[in-house]
Structure 1
Amino acid sequence: MPRFHCPVPLRAGSQIELPATAARHVQVLRLQPGDALTLFDGSGGQWSATVARMGRAEVLVDIGQHQAIEREAARAVHLVVGMPANERMDWLVEKATELGAASIQPVAAARSVIKLSGERAARRQGHWQAIAVAACEQCGRNRIPTVHAPLPLADWLRQQAAQAGADSTAPGARLVLSLQAGSQPLLHAAAGAAAVWVLHGPEGGLAPQEEQTALAHGFAPASLGARVLRAETAALAAVSVLTLATL
């Protein structure tokens, strides 16, 4: 059944006009009055709905019952990733959403090809958030991961240190993917944690000083094994391990 994100108040028994993006999707699919669809607003669960009327630009739908369906991973995985070049970041956001990432924080590291700021960063954030929404429509998630605004890695680490200092009881594991000797296997390093922050660098990885800075800010080194993976492959492998397996 077609699924559409509808970021407006939804109430059983009401009739609403779909927002422009959802309305366009309904029209592209050539749905007709009486056709069933599913709506979700991102706050949890989903609603059954039926197309009531198709206009030239607007689509009216009747809202049915709320269904308390969740498809979230048991562990909240927050991916902090050095932005890969070209369209690979688009692909990474889409697949990380499908795999269950709770949030995605793009960062610019010393070896990053892409460095964004100002209006350009805001546009890319909006673009990536839209990709996450579309991925949720496709995969069945009813909660949309937040794609945060891109930040320099050093700034993000300082923010994390300040937050940890303000709340010493903050739960979760903070891990940096590393090839250095002595790194624990990722799943073992995250054992027992209900929330995990996973930091990974761009193409070429984190610079040695960046990795040391992360460790000084409370991150622990974790390994995906002996093979050297592409930046986007490693990030998605980490999300897969942490959302699809438990220890």
Structure 2
Amino acid sequence: MSSKKKKWFIISLLVLIFIAYRTAYPFIREYQEANVTKETQQYLFNKYQEKFVVTDIRKEPLMQKYYLVAARAEDPDINFNVIRSIDKPFVYQDDYIAEKWYWQSSMILKPILDRNIKQTGYSFIINQRFQTEEYKEINEDFIKAQVLHPELSQVSLYILYIINKGEESKYKSTIDNLVSDIKKRNIKSLLLTVEFYDLSKYENKDDFEKQLKKIKNPTLFSMHKEKTLLKKYNIKIDNN
């Protein structure tokens, strides 16, 4: 075979291999993802003794990891993240406990916030995500964790008001009632941050809401809007 024919033969062979790979790759990826999904669901069941479903999966070859989203089979509203290494030995990380505690604490706190704050201010329960691998085998529900793991399960709650200067004292009884209601519901570890903003620095309350939504994270709002902040204080609930 002449060198020219050899060259074209090699090129043709490489093209065929490339086409075969492109044709087979979706099936290979689907097979791999199905295995990772099954193994991850089994890992979560073994760890938490609950059934879970994987709702999304993404492979990142450069990071050598799979990034998955999972949910409780009985309650798909509780979504959380799982990270798994591509190669053996498989290493998993997940933030299920943080998401479960956030969801359970929200179920307790939201009615209290609606009753005390909704008409006059803005309230936010901050989702404290963390990788539970750092905290060994923690699996308690939120209320029990408030006793056993008060620092890890501490709730971070933000209340924001847009007011005229000098009106801060008008909201003292509201905040006192809020704290009292929270304590009655067995919340034992909570940090409440209350911030008052100057209405005269905004066109109206709608403008304030627009700025708040733009920044998205209420914990950073005072940093961006420091010149409009009239007063800020923290209340720590620690009943352990």
| Richer in helix (by share) | 2
TM (norm. structure 1) is 0.26
* Bigger relative CO (Cα 8 Å, ≥ 6 apart): 1
TM-score by length of 2: 0.26
> Computing the radius of gyration over CA atoms, which structure comes out larger, 1 or 2?
2
